[in-house]
Amino acid sequence: MVLQLGDMAPDFTVGSTEGVIEFHKWLGDSWGMLFSHPSAFHSVCTTELAVLARLKPEFDKRNTKLLGLSVDTLESYFEWFKDIKELENVTINYPMIADSDRKVASIYGMIHPNESQTFTIRSLFLINPQKKIRLMQIYPGSLGRSFQEILRALDSLQLTDKYEVATGAEWKNGQDCIIMPSVPDSELHARFPKGFRELKPYYKVTPQPNL
């Protein structure tokens, strides 16, 4: 099964460093970020897990739960967490899935045989409270991710779900947004009381509506 944007995120029940997780039930009415990494005791992964632990309050502000995965055992995670604490001076504060039987990795397509026959690549899924996949990201094992970009994407998704706007390249929270062309001209003033500027007939911008 090849997952696509808008698909229902497959449900699963699996063991983690914080106990058994029934994925859809665990998400509840929150957004979720499900991400995989190649293995425990991996240098690049060490940096990623540490960065996420520091950024968790930012994800909390966005009502987004974090859930990591690799094909390791729970025992290896707990030993690795000690190294991360020593090296990065941070405690891992979100659950990690011990997917040693590759159950979750398989249904989410996290193992790419031409990259590695055995280890998960750096896959990432943003999932909304309706359990729909809203963003997918795929990196090779050698390249650590920018989680600031994921926060930017979350801000955009949560904003554009509520208002008929889009966000341009390099957009950041607080900047002007692009009005969707589907909004009739006759409704622009009512829908965007902060005003708007018409740069071209197809290109209108407005201050960020939720600020």
Q: Is a pLDDT exceeding 70 seen at residue 1? A: no
**Residue 70 and residue 72: Cα distance in Å, rounded?**
6
**Residue 179 and residue 206: Cα distance in Å, rounded?**
7
Q: Which residue has the tokens 């045989």?
A: 113
Domains located in the chain, CATH noted: 13-145 (3.40.30.10), 163-206 (no CATH)
Where in the sequence numbering do the catalytic residues fall? 45
Q: Which residue has the tokens 């425990």?
A: 40
Which pLDDT score is estimated for 92? 98
pLDDT grade for 141, boundaries at 50, 70 and 90: confident
Residue type, 31: W
The reported pTM is: 0.94
pLDDT by residue (tens digit) across 38-80?
888 999 999 999 999 999 999 999 999 999 999 889 999 999 9
136-145: list long-range contacts, CB under 8 Å, 24+ apart: 136/3, 136/5, 138/112, 140/115, 141/37, 141/38, 141/42, 141/44, 141/115, 141/116, 142/44, 143/44, 144/44, 144/47, 144/48, 145/35, 145/48
pLDDT by residue (tens digit) across 78-129?
999 999 999 999 999 999 999 989 999 999 999 898 888 778 889 999 999 9
